Chain A
Amino acid sequence: MRKSALLALALLFSPLVLAAEGEGAGAPLDWEHWQAGNEVSNTASLQRGARNFFNYCAGCHSLKYLRYSRMAADLKISTDQLKANLLPAGAAPADYVRASMAPEDALAWFGKEPPDLSLIARSRGPDRNYQFLKTFYLDPSRPNRSNNLLVSNPAMPAVLSDLEGVKEAVFRNVEVTVDGKVTTEKRFDHFVTVVPGQLNDAQFDDFVRDTVNFLDYAGEPSQVDRRSIGVWVVLFLLVFTWFAWLLKKEYWKDVH
């Protein structure tokens, strides 16, 4: 019995083991399984993420459901700091976070209006946001000279390339059999950095993680409260249920 349980466990985890082994040995970069691994209760990370957002994203993207004041309160940013660093000219703390770029300009410059990012962490998940921001590469065939592995041909240019550097994507041809016919397909293999950025790999990784973390917060600002209240509710219900069970046992002594 125990042996078969162990075997089942081993089988369950074997694909992971294989994947982990394959990583170093010339296998393609496994970006599709990258995880953001962000933690919304980390206020310092959220503050850095907010700084990143307002420096690199807020020019084009809104957070139309989030007020500056709410963000400042949740992220423990003082009103003075908010006014000095984050609040655009003419905006009040109670305003919602709006992009600086006018929608008509966006249409003319990018062909579409950049999406509001209030709920991007809820509709895509932090992992895919992380993958998106980490897989931009040089593509001279595109009008903005960049492309992306997660979202092919995005309207958004590689806005973080001054930090990350410029990467080229190396593809390899793989033979695939479709309906009995052998064709070659271009598959992504790995990135090569051609122009280094201001940050090294680890620093850039932290930068993206903080930014994604901030977007996760913006998607559901009350989630930290939710979890901390939840702990008390669950503890209360455990005690309540235990007492209820004792009461039931006492009454049911009479039933034979």
Chain B
Amino acid sequence: MASNDAQFKPGFWGWLNKRLPVESFFREQLLEYYAPKNFNVWYFFGSLALLALVMQLFTGIFLTMFYKVGDTTSFDSVEFIRREISYGWLIQYLHSVGASAFFVVVYLHMYRAMMYGSYKSPRELLWLFGMFIYLALMAEAFMGYVLPWGNMSYWAAQVIINLFSTIPVIGPGLVEWIRGDYGVADATLNRFFSLHVVAIPLILLLLVALHLVALRQSGSNNPDGIEIKERRGSDGKPLDGIPFHPYYTVKDVVGVGVFLLLFAVVVFFVPTFGGLFMEEANFEPANPLSTPEPIAPSWYFTPYYAILRAVPNQRLGALLLLMAVLLFFFLPWLDRSPVKSVRYRGWWYRGFLAVFTVSFLTLMYLGLKPATGAYVTAARVSAIGYFAFFLLMPLYSRWDRVKPVPERVSFHA
């Protein structure tokens, strides 16, 4: 193990390192952490997710200073922030666009893991922590969406909380317990504020820490799905690895630049993103007497929402919705392929991954449309494609004719 030599250095640095392993921590975690050298653009989204999290926490702190929770004050206070706080509009847009950006980044990050088999042994726990982050993020985003107390906030809360009423026996009581009232009301808004600002961010930070520790334990996967730790040079360092710092720190900064560029274009020029990031109906205060048509959740939930509405029976629909989310957890065990990366898999897996991709995007689109006629039929077909990817995986991943995996990663300087 690296010794803590810094403690013998003179002056404050030595004093500090004798008491806190600052230097050795950074050396072990950045300079002596070897990452595969063949990362492609898909590997930017991990660090970008971390950036999005920090940005949401930071802007959230400032919003909380001025936001006044309550069914008669929430809507007004958000408008007050946008209009009368210096640069309040900027903080508010950074936060609301940031939520969407977070999901864009997380979805691409998850898709990367699916393409390159990053969930497979020895990274099952890393994947599971990631999935729990995804669940917590969904809860965080949903509750945050309710806080402006616009009409879509109100009705989305109404629809999503009512999903719990489909649970047999305890359903109706559970819904009342969640809302704290007979309908979505002030009590619901207050508890969502507490959960959004305190409880779930704490859970998220804990899960992110575990996700990172698990990543350091097993090391990053790469587009070839080759374990670089298995090929070491005479100095004991992975032949295909390079120190995370400076190589990936400087590379990730480029990713951050491109991400912020796209993000700034949305924040400054199209913050509502044509009603996709901020719906028109949410510029009207919550009104239990006026239902927006159609009620659509935020775009990042629409694939699941489309599945829910594709099923005529509400209880079955809710069950399929739950299954659609939870199936991701089982990927490490559903996948029986001997290779990780899609580069060395056969046409069976590639075909099903394509079906999944098209189904997911189609469902995402359909969730924003009314549930009528051809839209419902399309949602049913896409839902079948979505579930087939997961449920048939134990079969097709075994039938697949995989290609031989090379010993070293492919890298072109």
Contacts and interface: CB of A to CB of B under 8 A. Distances in A.
Task: Classify chain B: how many residues form its interface, as a range.
Answer: 20 to 34
A123 B250 contact: no
A222 B264 contact: no
Contact of A237 (B261, B280, B281, B283): B261
Interface centre among B251, B256, B272 (most CB of A within 10 A): B251
A247 B268 contact: no
Contact of A122 (B267, B268, B283): B283
B251 A252 contact: yes
Interface in A164-205: none
A227 interface: yes
B8 interface: no
Nearest to B242: A255
Interface string B251-279: 10110111011001101110110000000
Interface in B258-308: 258, 260-261, 264-265, 267-269, 271-272, 280-281, 283-284
Contact of B250 (A65, A118, A248, A256): A248
**Main secondary structure on chain B at its contact with chain A?**
helix
A255 B37 contact: yes
A240 interface: yes
Contacts of B90: 226, 229
Given A123-B283, A256-B413, A65 B79 contact: yes
B284 A119 contact: yes
A220 interface: yes
Interface centre among A66, A118, A238, A255 (most CB of B within 10 A): A255
A117 B389 CA distance: 49
Contacts of A234: 261, 264-265, 268
A114 interface: no
Given A234-B264, A251-B246, A226 B79 contact: no
Contacts of B413: 252, 255-256
A65 B83 contact: yes
A110 interface: no
B280 A233 contact: no
Contacts of A230: 264-265, 267-269
A34 interface: no
A181 B269 CA distance: 49
A94 B46 CA distance: 48
A125 interface: yes
A244 B44 CA distance: 14
A245 interface: yes
Contacts of B257: 237, 240-241, 244-245
B191 interface: no
B18 interface: no
A221 interface: yes
A58 B286 CA distance: 24
Contacts of B350: none
23 contacts: A65-B76, A65-B80, A65-B83, A118-B79, A119-B79, A123-B281, A123-B284, A222-B89, A226-B89, A226-B90, A227-B269, A230-B267, A233-B264, A237-B257, A238-B261, A240-B257, A241-B257, A241-B261, A244-B256, A245-B254, A252-B250, A252-B251, A255-B413
Given A124-B280, A248-B251, A252-B251, 4 more contacts: A66-B83, A123-B284, A234-B265, A241-B258
Q: Which 10 A-B pairs have CB atoms at the shortest separation, nearest pair first?
A: A230-B268, A241-B257, A122-B283, A123-B283, A237-B261, A119-B283, A244-B253, A244-B254, A222-B89, A248-B250
Interface of A: 65-66, 70, 118-119, 122-125, 219-222, 226-227, 229-231, 233-234, 237-238, 240-241, 244-245, 247-248, 251-252, 255-256
